[in-house]
């Protein structure tokens, strides 16, 4: 019976191979793209994607169908969103190399949407120009200024593609249209309308989109926060229901820790969305946090790759947890150099005091990271919390004011601290990780200033001079340089 059904499927696809192709085509080019949403792919797409993704499922009779479909699949276009970061487009030479890579991928039969960052150093250069005029310029005008970096690269890359004979068109965030809220400098994407782009893709164009930028409902230019081109790429991939979102950068994947700090760091073939989210939010800048959130939410297959490799490797796939995952307890070490610590001591230990202290800071739009309240003594208590180093001066001024109102004994700050974190889903089921971590740091004479834990991470705050030593000693304590058995 089973053989009969399988044979019928085989004959169906044999006779109706165009049907399979048009199914896939309507999915890829579909009239579906308006709202980021990634849930109900057609069944045919699921089959295609599954077969493409798992070429090892090819034994026996079903293997015969697989081989047959692979031939068909080679005729079916995949839609790939590729994002190239600042160093990847840092010079005209690099832009030419990106154009070659994009064309090579298109020539394999794929439709390509490229998202680019500004040339390396450009966003920082623009920010310092503004700061020569004003320390805290209007965020609206800052967005008008910093978004220009990406407008330069879309035009240059599109010209390079055209000069190499490819059909290509550039799109600014406003042209896409990448609709965001109006929170300048950290706007959130609300909607993407890619109708024109769909037509351009159908007409055989390579689409080049400016990362990092959007527009609010009144047409004001907005930006998505530092590293925001990653989020543009993932959001585009979700909206277009792309087969994969590839983030090309200057390392060949996600490592157990930043390879620039620990040269013995090991590249991971796969990492879960949850772990990558923790790594990103704890300071691993290889991907912007929101891009990982977005990819997890809309189930976008996300891969980090190098744009510098001659022979393209597999990079790191960020995906849901499955049997092919490494069974490591710790998957990586993240760190954040951008932290600063503030302490207020000797405040009355009474209900509402936490909100009296932290309220003015959050009202000033300053994000608070770690918070520790000590056990009260003599009816008073101490609070310590951390903020981004850029917000240190403003937070300290606010805390000093609160200290006066509450009659605090002391207010002090430290902007030379860093946070180091161990991340791993395996921690859920393993005790003793925290004590091994503290012992390893103690052995090196590293004093821990603050500790915070969650199900899959342990973070410590230490003096910034111990960053490299701390990361390296933990990397070796947990044997991260060797692949788990
Ligand atoms: P791009 O300009 O391409 O967006 P980024 O500088 O934002 O590149 O991100 C790549 C950098 O992230 C690498 O050069 C590396 O130093 C850093 N990084 C931090 N943590 C990690 C990690 N765990 N794995 C790989 N790279 C990391
Ligand atoms: N150019 C922006 C930045 O430097 C966005 C990005 O590169 O992703 O943060
Ligand atoms: Mg980046």
Whether residue 316 is found in the same domain as residue 331: no
Whether residue 91 is found in the same domain as residue 239: yes
Whether residue 307 is found in the same domain as residue 361: no
- CA of 2 from ligand 2 middle (Å) equals 54
Lowest mean pLDDT among 62-71, 133-142, 252-261, 375-384: 62-71
Mean pLDDT of 254-275: 95
Nearest-ligand number for the alpha carbon of 267: 1
User: Band of the pLDDT at 76, cuts 50, 70, 90?
Assistant: low
pLDDT at 41: 30
pLDDT at 425: 83
**Which of the listed residues 276, 303, 323 is the one where a domain comes to its end?**
323
* pLDDT at position 1 over 90: no
Which residue range forms the structural domain that includes residue 408?
Answer: 327-479
Judge whether 387 and 342 are in contact, CB under 8 Å: yes
Mean pLDDT of 78-95: 98
* pLDDT at position 379 over 60: yes
Residue 17 lies in a domain: no
pLDDT tens for 277-333 read 999 999 999 999 999 999 999 999 999 999 999 888 999 999 987 766 666 789 899
* pLDDT at position 17 over 50: no
- CA of 118 from ligand 2 middle (Å) equals 6
User: Band of the pLDDT at 15, cuts 50, 70, 90?
Assistant: very low
User: Band of the pLDDT at 46, cuts 50, 70, 90?
Assistant: very low
Whether residue 121 is found in the same domain as residue 227: yes
pTM to 2 decimal places: 0.83
Q: Which of 90, 149, 210, 390 to mutate to test the pocket of ligand 2 (most atoms within 8 A of CB)?
A: 149
pLDDT at 195: 81
| Whether the CB of 287 sits within 6 Å of ligand 1 | no
Interatomic CA distance for residues 466 and 451, integer angstroms: 16
Residue 292 lies in a domain: yes
pLDDT tens for 222-237 read 999 999 999 999 999 9
Residue 168 lies in a domain: yes
Whether residue 357 is found in the same domain as residue 319: no
CATH code assigned at 367: 3.30.2130.10
| Whether the CB of 421 sits within 6 Å of ligand 1 | no
Mean pLDDT of 104-122: 97
pLDDT at 75: 46
pLDDT at 104: 95
| Whether the CB of 258 sits within 6 Å of ligand 1 | yes
Residue 73 lies in a domain: no
pLDDT tens for 171-181 read 999 999 999 99
Percentage of residues in the chain having pLDDT higher than 70: 83
Q: Which atom of ligand 2 is nearest to the CA of 227?
A: 8
214 is written with which tokens? 């959007």
* pLDDT at position 401 over 90: yes
169 is written with which tokens? 């068109």
pLDDT at 312: 87
Q: Which of 114, 246, 249 to mutate to test the pocket of ligand 1 (most atoms within 8 A of CB)?
A: 249
Residue 463 lies in a domain: yes
Mean pLDDT of 390-409: 95
Whether residue 369 is found in the same domain as residue 473: yes
| Minimum CA distance residue for ligand 2 atom 8 | 227
Whether residue 179 is found in the same domain as residue 285: yes
**Which of the listed residues 294, 323, 352 is the one where a domain comes to its end?**
323
- CA of 254 from ligand 1 middle (Å) equals 8
Q: Which atom of ligand 2 is nearest to the CA of 150?
A: 1
Whether residue 332 is found in the same domain as residue 314: no
Q: Tell me how far the alpha carbon of residue 449 is from its chain's centroid.
A: 29
Whether residue 304 is found in the same domain as residue 394: no
- CA of 366 from ligand 3 middle (Å) equals 22
pLDDT at 198: 87
* pLDDT at position 194 over 90: no
Nearest-ligand number for the alpha carbon of 123: 2
Nearest-ligand number for the alpha carbon of 86: 1
Residue 23 lies in a domain: no
Ligand 2 surroundings by CB, under 6 angstroms? 85-86, 117-118, 123, 149, 211-212, 226-230
- CA of 228 from ligand 2 middle (Å) equals 6
Whether residue 374 is found in the same domain as residue 318: no
**Which of the listed residues 308, 323, 338 is the one where a domain comes to its end?**
323
Average pLDDT, the chain: 85
Mean pLDDT of 374-401: 92
Alpha helices, DSSP H, located in 270-381? 273-281, 289-297, 353-363
* pLDDT at position 4 over 60: no
More confident residue, 17 or 304: 304
Residue 34 lies in a domain: no
Nearest-ligand number for the alpha carbon of 233: 2
Nearest to 424 by CA among 352, 351, 474, 463: 474
Mean pLDDT of 371-387: 89
Mean pLDDT of 417-424: 96
* pLDDT at position 48 over 60: no
| Minimum CA distance residue for ligand 1 atom 1 | 85
Mean pLDDT of 383-403: 95
CATH code assigned at 124: 3.40.1160.10
Q: Report the side by side order of strands in the sheet with 79-84.
A: 168-171, 206-210, 111-116, 79-84, 244-249, 302-306, 316-319, 270-272
User: Band of the pLDDT at 428, cuts 50, 70, 90?
Assistant: confident
pLDDT at 11: 37
* pLDDT at position 389 over 60: yes
| Minimum CA distance residue for ligand 1 atom 21 | 258
Count the domains in the chain: 2
More confident residue, 455 or 36: 455
Interatomic CA distance for residues 265 and 485, integer angstroms: 17
Residue 277 lies in a domain: yes
Lowest mean pLDDT among 21-30, 285-294, 371-380: 21-30
Whether residue 406 is found in the same domain as residue 304: no
Q: Write out the DSSP string of 134-168.
A: -SS--HHHHHHHHTHHHHHHHHHHHHHHHHTT--E
β-strands 111-116, 168-171: how paired? unpaired
Sign of CA dihedral 123, 129, 130, 136: positive
Whether residue 256 is found in the same domain as residue 338: no
């Amino acid at each position: 019976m089973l053989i009969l059904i399988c044979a019928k499927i085989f004959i169906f696809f044999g006779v109706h191979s165009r049907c399979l192709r048009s199914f896939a085509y309507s999915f890829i080019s579909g009239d579906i793209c308006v709202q980021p949403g990634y849930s109900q792919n057609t069944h045919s797409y699921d089959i295609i994607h599954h077969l493409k993704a798992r070429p090892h499922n090819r034994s026996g009779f079903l293997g015969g169908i697989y081989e047959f479909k692979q031939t068909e699949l080679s005729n079916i276009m995949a839609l790939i969103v590729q994002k190239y970061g600042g160093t990847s487009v840092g010079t005209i030479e690099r832009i030419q190399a990106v154009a070659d890579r994009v064309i090579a991928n298109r020539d394999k039969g794929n439709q390509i949407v490229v998202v680019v960052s500004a040339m390396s150093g450009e966003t920082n250069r623009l920010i310092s120009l503004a700061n020569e005029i004003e320390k805290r310029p209007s965020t609206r005008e800052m967005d008008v200024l910093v978004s220009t970096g990406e407008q330069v690269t879309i035009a240059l890359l599109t010209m390079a593609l055209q000069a190499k004979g490819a059909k290509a068109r550039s799109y600014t965030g406003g042209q896409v249209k990448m609709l965001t809220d109006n929170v300048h400098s950290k706007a959130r994407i609300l909607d993407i309308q890619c109708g024109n782009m769909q037509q351009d893709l159908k007409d055989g164009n390579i689409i080049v989109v400016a990362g990092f930028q959007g527009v609010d409902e009144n047409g004001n230019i907005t930006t998505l926060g530092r590293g925001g081109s990653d989020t543009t790429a993932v959001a585009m991939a979700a909206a277009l229901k792309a087969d994969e979102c590839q983030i090309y950068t200057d390392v060949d994947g996600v490592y157990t820790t930043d390879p620039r700090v620990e040269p013995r760091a090991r590249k991971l073939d796969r990492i879960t969305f949850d772990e990558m989210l923790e790594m990103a939010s704890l300071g691993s800048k290889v991907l912007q946090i929101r891009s990982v959130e977005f990819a997890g939410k809309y189930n976008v297959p996300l891969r980090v790759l190098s744009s510098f490799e001659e022979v393209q490797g597999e990079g790191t796939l960020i995906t849901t947890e499955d049997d092919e995952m490494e069974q490591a307890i710790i998957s990586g070490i993240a760190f954040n150099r951008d932290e600063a610590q503030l302490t207020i001591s000797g405040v009355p230990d009474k209900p509402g005091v936490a909100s009296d202290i932290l309220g003015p800071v959050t009202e000033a739009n300053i994000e608070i990271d770690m918070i520790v309240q000590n056990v009260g003594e003599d009816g008073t208590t101490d609070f310590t919390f951390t903020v981004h180093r850029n917000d240190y001066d403003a937070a300290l001024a606010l805390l000093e004011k609160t200290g006066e109102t509450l009659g605090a004994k002391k207010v002090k700050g430290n902007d030379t601290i860093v946070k180091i974190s161990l991340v791993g889903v395996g921690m859920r089921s393993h005790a003793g990780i925290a004590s091994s971590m503290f012992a390893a740091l103690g052995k090196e004479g590293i004093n821990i200033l603050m500790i915070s834990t969650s199900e899959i991470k342990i973070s410590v705050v230490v003096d910034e001079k111990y960053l490299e030593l701390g990361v390296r000693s933990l990397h070796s304590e947990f044997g991260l340089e060797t692949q788990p058995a």
